[in-house]
A and B are shown apart, each in its own frame.
Chain A
Amino acid sequence: MQPYLYFSTGLIAVLTGLEWFVPAIFRPTNLFGVTVAPDAARQPEGRAIIRRWRASIAALGLAGIALTVALAPLEPVVVLLARTGILLVVALGQVALYIGSHHQAQALAIPEAGAVRTASLAARPHVPLIPWWWEALPLALIGGTAFVLAQQYAAAPAIIPVHWNINNMVDRTAAKSVGSFFLMVWMQVGLYALLTFITATLSRTRIGNNATTGSQQYRLAIARYLFFVKGMIIVLLGTMGLVIANNSVTNTTPSTALFIAPLGFVVVVLAVGTFIFFRYGQGGWRVDARAGTLPAADNMPDSAWKGGVLYYNPNDPALFVERRSGMGFTLNFGHRGSWLFMGGLLVFIVAATVVPIVLAGR
């Protein structure tokens, strides 16, 4: 079971590595969710907080990896439970360490930061971040996948394979139906809808104080990145769907290259995301810093950041806001829409998990 061991330890190593770099991601005015002076992270107190964070994160990660390796010779069921438990402890431990660093950083907080807020009075144009006609490409790819699969539907056997294990053996089959045969198309449609919705919300997301060039450029870069991810997912799922269908019809085993493809996809998506991140910085702050227009605060009160992680501000009309605890965005849990969004996401996840199991129920 070596591949699973590599997977578990690799996952802990990646999580640890990401968290190690987290302080480099923060805006200069944000240290673990606390609004500080722009040079606070370079001062002795700030550096000490970051040093303690990195040492704790590394210790937690190494302990997790060592325990995973030490437990490897046990019974497979015990190993599976232990690995899940270790991963959970590492993930929760990182959150706990972050909250600890947040409390330490409060010693450097600027009192009443965010009380004075500035906004541009220039009306932003209504043009969407992604031109509507760009959507023709992913939609055509979905349509193309569905079309080619439809050509093979009649020739496919009554029972089709739907899942392979890591040794390239079929471990789940399903009765042929529109649901099971076109499973990848349904996944394409679902993920297309989700990513298009997230992109649409970007124009209403608060990034920094929204008025700077950096925030505008970052918003556009993220919208294009999401479009790229959307295209990649559709191509990946489409390719998998077509290869699997072809193997069903010809009763052959898919090439192992097909299993490497998702890994390649993850690597490419992470690489492009990392590049964007270091080019722009969280919320595009690096662009503003280069131009000398970095705002002193992000127009959000520190008191609304619970533990520096969760944002709860019922007075804030923004549904999505820039995260202070890392890269990307988070929900304003004080906004009623956030619960609708979470509910919708839960329904989506449950549907995406349950539907394939039901379809493959043989």
Chain B
Amino acid sequence: MKPSISIDERSKEPIYRQIMQGVRHLVATGQLVAGDELPSLRQLAVDLNVHLNTVALAYRELERQGIVRLRQGSRATILSVDRASLVPDPQVHTLLREQLERLRTEAILAGVPLAEVRELAMEVLQEDAEGG
């Protein structure tokens, strides 16, 4: 299945950040790997029906974060993720916190004890530490 990203115009989050989050998610889940080419600015802008500058800004930010490489005249390419050289996203704490809060709410509503959720989270993080 070809990787794809979605944007939601109704969201409070700026569209360039939604594009960034989409790419970051695909990299984090291994659906995009080092060497994969991203669509040209024009292709993605036309397909998503957003301004060219919005996609350009998203790509530049992804480059600054060490996730893609941009070169004049060629397509943006996914870089191998060297965790040591990654530039942390300044908003990452807020985003992670929001996601964890959502998760906690989901668990409470589903009747899952929070201790179980904590254990599950530790297990997942442990898998990542073992994997690389």
Interface residues, chain A, with chain B CB atoms under 8 Å away: 112, 114-124, 204, 206, 209-211, 299-301, 313, 315-318
Contact = CB atoms under 8 A, between A and B. Distances in A.
Contact of B6 (A114, A117, A122, A300): A117
B67 to A, nearest CB: 13
Interface in B24-81: 26, 32, 37-40, 42-52, 75
B8 A116 contact: yes
Residue from B46, B49, B75 with most neighbouring chain A CB atoms (10 Å): B49
Nearest to B76: A123
A115 B49 contact: no
Contact of A300 (B38, B39, B43, B49): B49
Contacts of B3: 120-122
A210 B2 contact: no
Contacts of B46: 204, 206, 210, 316-318
B10 A115 contact: yes
21 contacts: A117-B6, A118-B4, A118-B5, A118-B6, A119-B6, A119-B44, A120-B39, A120-B47, A121-B39, A122-B39, A123-B39, A123-B43, A123-B75, A124-B43, A204-B46, A206-B46, A211-B2, A299-B48, A315-B51, A317-B49, A318-B49
B49 A204 contact: no
B40 A122 contact: no
A316 B50 CA distance: 6
Nearest to B44: A119
Contacts of A122: 2-3, 39
A121 B5 contact: yes
A111 B78 CA distance: 37
Contacts of B49: 114, 117, 206, 299-301, 313, 315-318
Interface residues of B, number: 29
A120 B8 contact: no
Contacts, number: 86
Given A122-B2, A211-B47, A316-B49, A117 B7 contact: yes
A115 B3 CA distance: 20
A119 B9 contact: no
A6 B8 CA distance: 54
Nearest to B23: A121
Contacts of B44: 119, 121
Contacts of A124: 39, 43
B48 A121 contact: no
B99 to A, nearest CB: 20
A335 to B, nearest CB: 11
A209 B48 CA distance: 8
A243 to B, nearest CB: 45
A206 B8 contact: no
A115 to B, nearest CB: 4
Contacts of A121: 2-5, 22-23, 26, 32, 38-39, 44
A299 B47 contact: yes
B48 to A, nearest CB: 5
Nearest to B51: A315
Nearest to B15: A117
Contacts of B45: 317
Contacts of A318: 46, 49
A313 B10 CA distance: 17
A211 B39 CA distance: 12
B37 A123 contact: yes
Given A299-B47, A316-B49, A211 B4 contact: yes
B8 A119 contact: no
Given A119-B39, A122-B39, A209 B47 contact: yes
A299 B23 CA distance: 19
Contacts of A317: 42, 45-46, 49-52
A332 to B, nearest CB: 10
Given A117-B7, A117-B49, A210-B46, 15 more contacts: A115-B9, A115-B10, A116-B7, A116-B9, A117-B48, A119-B44, A120-B2, A121-B5, A121-B22, A121-B23, A122-B3, A299-B47, A315-B49, A317-B45, A318-B49
